Amino acid sequence: MHVTVLLHEAVDALALERGGVYVDGTFGRGGHSREVLARLNTAGRLIALDRDPLAIEAGQAIKDPRFTLIHAPFSELGTVLDQLGIGGIDGVLLDLGVSSPQFDDASRGMSFRFDAPLDMRMDTSRGQTAAQWLAEASVSQITEVLKDYGEERFAYAIAKAVATARTGGAIATTGQLAALVEKTVRTREPGQHPATRSFQALRIFVNQELEELKRVLPICAERLREGGRLVVISFHSLEDRIVKRFMRDESTPPRLPSRLPIKAADIPSPRLALVGRAQRPCAAEVAANPRARSAVMRVAERRGGRGKQGGAARFDVLLITMLILLAAASALGIVSAQNEARKLYAALEHEQARTESLDKELQRLQIEQEHLSALDRVENIARHRLGMVLPEPGQIIALEKRP
């Protein structure tokens, strides 16, 4: 049996409109779904998804024309809504992780408490089992999975032990894997089986749980109508970190360079607004259902006004305008560079003309100098060869003009 965690708190957080369209992305055994249906009127609608065929089978018990149950991973929510002809929705609930039936049914291979085939898939109709993956993964791939999804300190030692053990035959059961980890891990955390982290890591990896979550969150934000709520319950820090960061990023205005010439009104407002703080189950709930002890619920609301369409579209226009301005500025830069080159060329021509005229002046002076030195020569010949003398200062010489 599955005891729903934060049942009323999560459905309250959806702030339901009685005739709205809602999505339960993790139907499980339908605890939250039934409560949502109970609060909707006849115009309301609930679309529920689960990747586990047994959850879908269990959901057939709900006979309600307002209810549609689909066997699909929630990362395919967009396609599912498109196929149903649904555009916008008024709220989404994701109650992550595994359900108690999945964990407690030995044949699912998710727990080291029972010896069973090492399967671990939520969707038993597709994908690789944990045993199949362990049979062919490299030591470094196993180490990475155990570290990343289980934060396992002895990841490498366990991976090596797996590689050694499988040479003598496949690790096919939960019992084999649990025993191998128990033998390899030297210290234990109090109250925890040494294989707890390895089993969690393999389950998260086999079901691609974190990737599924990263894919569905933007789809939810996209599909929510103004005022619609996104409610997510996580059960470990890896999931909660993704949810927390997504909600924080989607509720924070973009950081633009301070000197960007944009009016405050043109800065796009974020798509989501945070609703309250992270909420945990009360002590009474944890006492009644120990599975609830690690649950954290976060809620965000789709903003209106210039949310996705208005703000983003205006922002796009702004970006395009800035790009055009940048292109124009660089074109202007080219023109001014051309002008500069023209000026330099003119200055060069001017200098060349000046050099030419100086050359001519030099030639003229050289000719004059030659001419003067020629006068010297005439004087020399007159003095020394013809015996002529220069007149004394004040002496008058009469020159006779011959016919």
Ligand X SMILES: C[S@@+](CC[C@H](N)C(=O)[O-])C[C@H]1O[C@@H](n2cnc3c(N)ncnc32)[C@H](O)[C@@H]1O
| By CB under 6 A, residue 165 contacts ligand X | no
CB closer to ligand X, 98 vs 185: 98
Closest CA to 40 of 23, 61, 28, 53: 23
The residue within the footprint of ligand X, chosen from 6, 13, 55, 272 (CB under 6 A), is: 55
Part in contact with ligand X (CB under 6 A); list of ranges 26-34, 245-253, 338-346, 363-371: 26-34
**Residue 31 contacts ligand X per CB under 6 A:** yes
Cα separation, 8 vs 28, whole angstroms: 16
What binding mask, one character per residue, do residues 96-125 give for ligand X by CB under 6 A, x or -?
A: -xxx----------------------x---
Of 6, 17, 32, 177, the one binding ligand X (CB under 6 A) is 32
Stretch that binds ligand X, among 27-35, 39-47, 328-336, 345-353 (CB under 6 A): 27-35
* Smallest distance from ligand X to CB 146, Å: 21
Q: Which CB sits closer to ligand X, 98 or 145?
A: 98
Residue owning tokens 């405050």: 264
Quick note: the x/- pattern for ligand X over 210-249, rule CB under 6 A, is --x-------------------------------------
Q: Which of residues 299-318 bind ligand X (CB under 6 A)?
A: none
Contact with ligand X (CB under 6 A) among 49, 70, 110, 171: 49
Burial 331-349 (b: 16+ CB within 10 A, else e): eeeeeeeeeeeeeeeeeee
Rounded CA separation 199/180 (Å): 12
194 touching ligand X, by CB under 6 A: no
Nearer to ligand X, 81 or 185 (CB): 81
Q: At closest approach, how far in Å is the CB of 75 from ligand X?
A: 6
Provide the CB-side half-sphere exposure for 231 (13 A, CA): 29
Q: Is 30 in the site for ligand X (CB under 6 A)?
A: yes
CB of 302 to ligand X, least distance (A): 21
Chain mean position to CA 174: 36
CA distance 129 to 205: 10
- The answer to whether 59 contacts ligand X (rule: CB under 6 A) is no
50 binds ligand X (CB under 6 A): yes
Position 52 contacts ligand X (CB under 6 A): yes
Task: Give the interface with ligand X as residue ranges (CB under 6 A).
Answer: 2, 4, 26, 28-32, 49-52, 55, 73-74, 95, 97-99, 122, 212
